[in-house]
Amino acid sequence: MNQKLLGVILAAGRGTRIKPLNLYHPKPLLPVCNKPIMQYQVEAMRAIGVTDVVIVVGHLKDDITRYFGDGASLGVNITYVEQKQMLGIAHAVAQLESVIDSPFVLFLGDIFSVQKDLPGMAEMFWARKAGAVLAVKYEPNPEFIRRNFAVILHASGTVTRVIEKPRYLTNNLKGCGVYMFDLAIFDAIRRTPRTAQRDEYEITNSIQILIDDGYPVYPIETIEWDMNVTFASDLLECNRKQLEHLGRNSLIGDNVRMPEGTIVERSVIGNNVVIRHPIAVRDSLILADVVLERTEDLNRMLITPETAVHCDPQTGGGVE
């Protein structure tokens, strides 16, 4: 059996709810502990033996191709396919049918995750001759399930239903935006209708068609923690969680200049940042190349070269 997995990352979306950050930064390039979300995904793929990665680009695509290039610096070969219309995840995957000839692992470029057993996911996929394997986790926060998709299981442990952005929950099993698919998914995508809810082609509907066609679909708890980065406060939370994962209080990038007396707590500061005045930076994120002139302390703020956002977890964030 040819047990080669290709890698796919979807990175075309506009990310309008994280505005104004999306005007200047593709969401998959937003940094978590000074590394783009999507770079973690490429590295995770490489760790399970994936050497060929296809990235679907669209919004601010030149920024992504400029950063990753041909992938050689990360030990993979990257090619790019453009999605010219933003019509959903299934539509994005459909763009790849002519360039993919092997089963593939799919990441959504705007979901940051800490994985605990990606190799086990691949082993399950091959051993059970699966139509698909879905990364899942038991999610105590119902709102996070409503922002992703619910997974309903048969008593045997196979997936019987997937429900996109469910309003009513019957369990707390959430899909996490990491998938392994057999090529049969393309047949299912061709028969996937455009939804009334969001006027898009949803990959969850394609998965349901795959299930209804008789292909076995399995869940695996391979995600320790994840966040669909929808609002500025989500990105701040990803950085906080990764600091915790790394066992660090703060992270300060290269070539950072700040005066004596500056306090940095539970925060990440990007490369080439200049802080002019001795302020306290707490529970905040400063992106690379910021020159900070302010004399007020930072608390739960996200600072970019273009804007400053107060990251209120209740509202998601507000521009200063």
Q: What tens digit of pLDDT does each residue of 177-209 get? A: 999 999 999 999 999 988 766 778 999 999 999
Q: What are 116's two structure tokens?
A: 């605990």
What proportion of the chain, given as a percentage, has pLDDT over 90?
80
Give the residue carrying structure tokens 């979901």: 111
Amino acid code (one letter) for 286: I
DSSP state of 98: T
Candidate from 20-29, 150-159, 283-292 with smallest mean pLDDT = 20-29
Beta-strand runs (E) in 215-266: 217-221, 223-228, 251-252, 263-265
**Segment 135-147 mean pLDDT:** 92
Asked if 282 and 263 touch (Cβ cutoff 8 Å), the reply is yes
Q: Is the pLDDT of residue 272 over 50?
A: yes
Question: What pTM, to 2 d.p., does this model score?
Answer: 0.93
Dist. CA 231–CA 69, nearest whole Å: 27
Helix (H) or strand (E) segment spanning residue 89:
helix 89-94
- The answer for residues whose C-beta is within 8 angstroms of residue 183's C-beta and 6 or more apart is 100, 101, 102, 103
Helix (H) or strand (E) segment spanning residue 212:
helix 203-212
Dist. CA 77–CA 82, nearest whole Å: 17
**Domain range annotation of the chain:** 6-228, 232-319
pLDDT at 13: 86
Q: What are 308's two structure tokens?
A: 């400053």
Q: What tens digit of pLDDT does each residue of 216-271 get? A: 999 999 999 999 999 999 999 999 999 999 999 999 999 999 999 999 999 999 99
Q: What tens digit of pLDDT does each residue of 54-84 get? A: 999 999 999 999 999 999 999 999 999 998 8
Instruction: Compute the chain's Rg from CA coordinates.
Output: 20
CATH topology of domain 6-228: Spore Coat Polysaccharide Biosynthesis Protein SpsA; Chain A (3.90.550)
